[in-house]
């Protein structure tokens, strides 16, 4: 590093010295460069304490400044100063118009931030600080401006020209060119700016809001993908209705547009009136998209739509407040998906993700509170913590306040802060003000990092009929925070009697929320006639690790009796974890493995009980994942975890094969594909049964998988069969169908990505070589983040056995890719570092090798801020 990147602190926040009232932009898209003409109406911020400071605009080093004028006076070179990251002008008046003309080069933009080209179309990504790669600006979210945007381009190559707001004028220009002007009446920060220019097809629909306003809905994509847009449109309309019903929020412009692009650093972006989506989060068709893909489209369309209120109308004061919009919006989209599908399944999926990825982040070198106190590169803070833990924190407020008060709080928040850029504290304050409930201690969730641990014990006094739960909380140290104060934690509990019935609690209900605030606290329940079995942390009411000394028999009992669907699943997970952990110990000691037959019996009961919530059966019968078992280990023994889990699956499969075959046959119905909860559950259960059956090693089960692969009329069944065969010892069969699959789908990039990922995550020996060969394959492109994620992250995150190979080859490979991507696309490079940041969790030999690779990245030359921050914090 020639120069240590600067650390930015929340405590240094100051209001902007200038405001930009109006922003007029003109983009001239030329073959090799784009000319950006900006006309900004600027005035000093009356709230700023400095009265005569210079105007300092952010601007990337690659911007070529062609002209700068203040109130129509062109400035000479000595009148302004250009640095690597800014443009400063001294002695500006209190109110003035600044004009700049800047040249930028979208074709050379491989970082995919600012204005770039994706497969021949122009598009933008400005959040968080990408606008400064387009033109000089006050690129911070508390500067909100009204934008007018004119785009001029070649008419044949770029017939569609889009920006935020409403189209207000258009016309032809010289040289077969045309132009369109867009006006967005809502003041917005620059991070919500968007521009799209391309040869795009679209579908259109109408939506009438609750108050009777008509909104035009358009979804744009390449012509060949026109048949894959309907589900996004359906999802959009459902989201609009849901936000009216549940939050009382209506859409505000006359037009809402979504554009699908193939090169995109993340899932999607909520630009005002013009969302830009990764194709993977918008295109859906039964033949090419799995059930998980359909649900992703529904969830992401909703998420970006909900941002129109939680993010756009009310935005963030600064980037430390990112969870203000992201945590809240994830909570909103999770509730939407829960309402549209199976609530319990959605909760199980979200908790699984939180407990593997977010808990691991909270225990590692990048741990940060949901409102970080500092950062080097904000792009590194679009994390599981900000998003998923942030959503859990909002969910806890919902639990503490109750639905009605929460709605009053959100109404107050939206009314009070409409059109403003605010803080997480403003959000909590509105919740407090509307409900009258004290959240002062609760605010610690915003400033303290780490996952709290709750140890629970209990006492039963039979003579007094009093049952007492004793809860003790602690939170491990995280970087920069050695001591933590006790959190305010809602712990939702129920008590089960021997018959399996819920007991009535003193609040007159069968579930009660205990508010844990002290380091240690006792909660007593009276009139409890027998010693109960507690059902703790129902619906996962707080993002914590909760320990209670359940006996295996208690867990089997809860699996079949708990009235809380989430906790039934949780009991099965706990039973699985307990059994697997014991077997891992046996494996490490070199002992023979014997499976506790209570697990087999419990699984058999679930498999054969048709009265159960069928959407949950496949979840209950899925053993804790290798990722979750790793997260729970002090020292992660990758090989033992894999071997033991495989042993348990095989043992279960052999013992339960007739039940599994019956389930498979029952669920293997031919019906027209629909992505609804019931049919998704049926396919999930069928494919779960198949996954067990394949492990029996019986040739007839391979036949079953191959038949499913050949006969499938939808991608869910076809992909499940493909993955099972590829991840099996039947290498020949795998080779044949991989080839067949590729030939069939090679013109569908999203399907090919899955084909890459299935091979990258193959636990068999040789996967790394396959990955290296695939990097040379015609379908791979290092500049396309979806390809990188499928192949490289597919290997480093979904293939622990091979990534952690004892010869260090997996680590070396990943470091090589990070070094290469550091120049091409720093955001993607930085994301790839994640598995290496976890080095402290592995045995000494692996630790050494992982550290060495981090050091090699560190020494590899000039690092981007993104990669520098993650690698240096990991080595610290």
**Contact positions toward ligand B3K, by CB under 6 A?**
127-128, 266, 268-270, 303-304, 307, 326, 379, 382
Residues 413-472 that bind Zn ion (CB under 5 A): none
Determine whether 304 is an active site residue.
Answer: yes
Residue 471 contact, options ligand B3K, Zn ion, none, Cβ 5-8 Å cut-off depending on partner type:
none
* Closest distance to ligand B3K from the beta carbon of 608 (Å): 43
* Closest distance to ligand B3K from the beta carbon of 130 (Å): 8
Residue 379 contact, options ligand B3K, Zn ion, none, Cβ 5-8 Å cut-off depending on partner type:
ligand B3K
491/527 Cα distance (integer angstroms): 21
Our CB check for ligand B3K shows the closer of 192 and 756 to be 192
805-809 contact pairs (CB < 8 A, 24+): 805/768, 806/845, 806/846, 808/849, 808/852, 808/853, 809/768
* Closest distance to ligand B3K from the beta carbon of 283 (Å): 18
Residue 70 contact, options ligand B3K, Zn ion, none, Cβ 5-8 Å cut-off depending on partner type:
none
Our CB check for ligand B3K shows the closer of 266 and 533 to be 266
Our CB check for Zn ion shows the closer of 326 and 432 to be 326
Residue 580 contact, options Zn ion, ligand B3K, none, Cβ 5-8 Å cut-off depending on partner type:
none
Residue 128 contact, options ligand B3K, Zn ion, none, Cβ 5-8 Å cut-off depending on partner type:
ligand B3K
Coil/strand/helix, residue 302: helix
- Count Cβ atoms below 10 Å from residue 840 Cβ, excluding itself: 13
What single DSSP character describes residue 382?
A: -
Residues 246 and 229: beta-carbon distance below 8 Å: no
For residue 94, with 0-12 CB atoms within 10 Å meaning exposed, 13-18 middle and 19 or more buried, which class applies? exposed
Our CB check for Zn ion shows the closer of 329 and 874 to be 329
Our CB check for ligand B3K shows the closer of 326 and 458 to be 326
Residues 372-401 that bind Zn ion (CB under 5 A): none
User: What DSSP line would sit under 18-78, residue for residue?
Assistant: EEEEEEEEEEEE-SS-EEEEEEEEEEE-TT-S-SSPPEEEE--TT-EEEEEEETTEEPPGG
Residues 328-347 that bind Zn ion (CB under 5 A): 329
Residue 312 contact, options Zn ion, ligand B3K, none, Cβ 5-8 Å cut-off depending on partner type:
none
Our CB check for Zn ion shows the closer of 307 and 343 to be 307
Our CB check for Zn ion shows the closer of 329 and 342 to be 329
Our CB check for Zn ion shows the closer of 329 and 473 to be 329
Peptide bond into 128 cis (omega under 30): yes
Catalytic-labelled residue, pool 99, 127, 304, 388: 304
665/659 Cα distance (integer angstroms): 10
- Count Cβ atoms below 10 Å from residue 243 Cβ, excluding itself: 21
Number of residues that bind Zn ion (CB under 5 A): 2
Residue 553 CA: distances (Å) to CA of 548, 550, 578, 602: 14, 8, 12, 10
Strand order across the 55-58 sheet: 55-58, 86-89, 80-82
Residue 344 CA: distances (Å) to CA of 306, 538, 565, 687, 726: 22, 11, 6, 20, 31
* Closest distance to ligand B3K from the beta carbon of 267 (Å): 6
Which among 190, 179, 150 is positioned nearest to 58, based on CA atoms? 190
Residue 395 contact, options ligand B3K, Zn ion, none, Cβ 5-8 Å cut-off depending on partner type:
none
183/168 Cα distance (integer angstroms): 7
Q: What does the per-residue mask of binding to Zn ion show for 292-331, with x meaning CB under 5 A? A: ----------------------------------x--x--
Residue 206 CA: distances (Å) to CA of 65, 216, 220, 233, 272: 43, 5, 15, 10, 18
* Closest distance to ligand B3K from the beta carbon of 330 (Å): 8
* Closest distance to ligand B3K from the beta carbon of 825 (Å): 12
Residue 127 contact, options Zn ion, ligand B3K, none, Cβ 5-8 Å cut-off depending on partner type:
ligand B3K
Please report where in the chains the tokens 């193939």 appear, as a residue: 262
What single DSSP character describes residue 672?
A: -
Residue 155 tokens, joined: 């008419």
* Closest distance to ligand B3K from the beta carbon of 127 (Å): 4
β-bridge pairing 201-208 and 214-221: antiparallel
* Closest distance to Zn ion from the beta carbon of 321 (Å): 13
Catalytic residues: 304
In the complex, the residues that contact Zn ion under the rule CB under 5 A are: 326, 329
């Amino acid at each position: 590093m020639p120069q240590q990147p600067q650390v930015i602190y929340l405590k240094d926040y100051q209001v902007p010295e200038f405001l930009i009232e109006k922003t007029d932009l003109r983009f001239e898209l030329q073959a090799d460069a784009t000319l950006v003409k900006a006309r900004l109406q600027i005035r000093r911020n009356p709230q700023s304490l400095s009265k005569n400071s210079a105007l300092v605009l952010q601007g990337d080093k690659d911007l070529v400044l062609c002209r700068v004028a203040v109130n129509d006076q062109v400035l000479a070179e000595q009148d302004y100063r250009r640095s690597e990251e800014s443009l400063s002008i001294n002695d500006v008046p209190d109110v003035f118009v600044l004009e700049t003309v800047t040249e930028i080069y979208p074709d050379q933009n491989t970082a995919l931030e600012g204005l770039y080209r994706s497969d021949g179309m122009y598009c933008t990504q400005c959040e968080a600080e990408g606008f400064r790669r387009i033109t000089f600006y006050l690129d911070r979210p508390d500067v909100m401006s009204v934008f007018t945007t004119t785009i001029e381009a070649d008419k044949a190559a770029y017939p569609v020209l889009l920006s935020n707001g409403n189209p207000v004028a258009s016309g032809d220009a010289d040289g077969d060119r045309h132009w369109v002007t867009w006006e967005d009446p809502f003041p917005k920060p620059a991070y919500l700016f968007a521009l799209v220019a391309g040869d795009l097809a679209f579908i259109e629909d109408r939506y009438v809001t609750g108050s009777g306003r008509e909104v035009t809905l358009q979804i744009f994509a390449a012509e060949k993908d026109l048949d894959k847009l309907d589900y996004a449109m359906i999802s959009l309309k459902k989201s609009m209705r849901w936000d009216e019903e549940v939050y009382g929020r209506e859409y505000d412009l006359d037009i809402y547009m979504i554009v699908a692009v193939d090169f995109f650093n993340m899932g999607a972006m909520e630009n005002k009136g013009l969302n830009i989506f990764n194709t993977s989060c918008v295109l859906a068709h039964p033949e090419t998209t799995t059930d998980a893909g359909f649900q992703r489209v529904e969830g992401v369309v909703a998420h970006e739509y909900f941002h129109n209120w939680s993010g756009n109308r009310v935005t963030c004061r600064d980037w430390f407040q990112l969870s203000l919009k992201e945590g809240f919006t994830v909570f909103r989209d999770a509730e939407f998906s829960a309402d549209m599908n199976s609530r319990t399944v959605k909760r199980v999926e979200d908790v699984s993700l939180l407990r593997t990825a977010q808990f691991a982040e909270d225990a590692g070198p990048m741990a940060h509170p949901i409102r970080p106190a500092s950062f080097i590169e904000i792009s590194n803070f679009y994390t599981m913590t900000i998003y998923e833990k942030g959503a859990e924190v909002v969910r806890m407020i919902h639990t503490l306040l109750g639905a009605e008060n929460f709605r009053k709080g959100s109404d107050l928040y939206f009314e009070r802060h409409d059109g403003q850029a605010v803080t997480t504290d403003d959000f909590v304050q509105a919740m407090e003000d509307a409900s009258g409930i004290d959240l002062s201690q609760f605010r610690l969730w915003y400033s303290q990092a780490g996952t709290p641990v709750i140890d629970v014990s209990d006492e039963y006094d039979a003579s007094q009929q009093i049952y007492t739960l004793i809860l003790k909380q602690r939170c491990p140290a995280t970087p920069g925070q050695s001591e933590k104060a006790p959190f305010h934690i809602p712990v939702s509990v129920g008590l089960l009697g021997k018959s399996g019935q819920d007991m009535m609690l003193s609040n007159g209900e069968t579930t009660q929320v205990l508010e844990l605030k002290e380091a240690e606290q006792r909660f007593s329940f009276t009139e409890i006639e027998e010693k109960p079995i507690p059902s703790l942390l129902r619906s996962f009411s707080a993002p914590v690790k909760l320990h209670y000394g359940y006996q295996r028999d208690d867990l089997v009992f809860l699996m079949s009796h708990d009235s809380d669907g989430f906790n039934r699943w949780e009991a099965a997970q706990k039973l699985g974890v307990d059994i697997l952990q014991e077997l891992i110990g046996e494996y490490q000691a070199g002992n023979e493995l014997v499976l506790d037959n209570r697990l087999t019996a419990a699984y058999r009961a679930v498999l054969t009980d048709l009265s159960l919530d069928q959407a949950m059966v496949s979840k209950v019968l899925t053993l804790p994942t290798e990722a979750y078992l790793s997260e729970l280990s002090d020292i992660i023994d990758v090989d033992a975890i894999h071997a033991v889990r495989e042993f348990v699956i095989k043992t279960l499969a052999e013992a339960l094969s007739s039940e599994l075959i019956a389930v498979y046959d029952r669920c293997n119905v031919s019906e027209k594909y629909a992505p609804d909860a019931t049919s998704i559950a049926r396919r999930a259960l069928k494919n779960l049964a198949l996954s067990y059956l394949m492990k029996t090693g019986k040739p007839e089960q391979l036949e079953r998988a191959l038949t499913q692969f050949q006969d499938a009329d939808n991608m869910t069944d076809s992909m499940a069969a493909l993955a099972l065969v590829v991840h099996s010892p039947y290498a020949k069969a795998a080779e044949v169908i991989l080839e067949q699959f590729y030939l069939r789908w090679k013109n569908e990039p999203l399907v090919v990505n899955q084909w890459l990922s299935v091979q990258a995550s193959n636990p068999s020996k040789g996967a790394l070589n396959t990955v290296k060969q695939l990097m040379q394959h015609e379908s791979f492109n290092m500049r396309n983040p979806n390809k990188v994620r499928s192949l490289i992250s597919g290997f480093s995150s979904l293939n622990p056995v091979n990534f952690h190979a004892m010869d260090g080859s997996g680590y070396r490979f990943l470091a090589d890719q990070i070094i290469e991507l550091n120049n091409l696309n720093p955001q993607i490079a930085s994301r790839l570092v994640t598995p290496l940041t976890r080095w402290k969790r592995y045995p000494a030999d692996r630790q050494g090798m992982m550290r060495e690779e981090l050091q090699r990245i560190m020494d590899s030359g000039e690092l981007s801020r993104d990669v520098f921050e993650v690698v240096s914090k990991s080595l610290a």
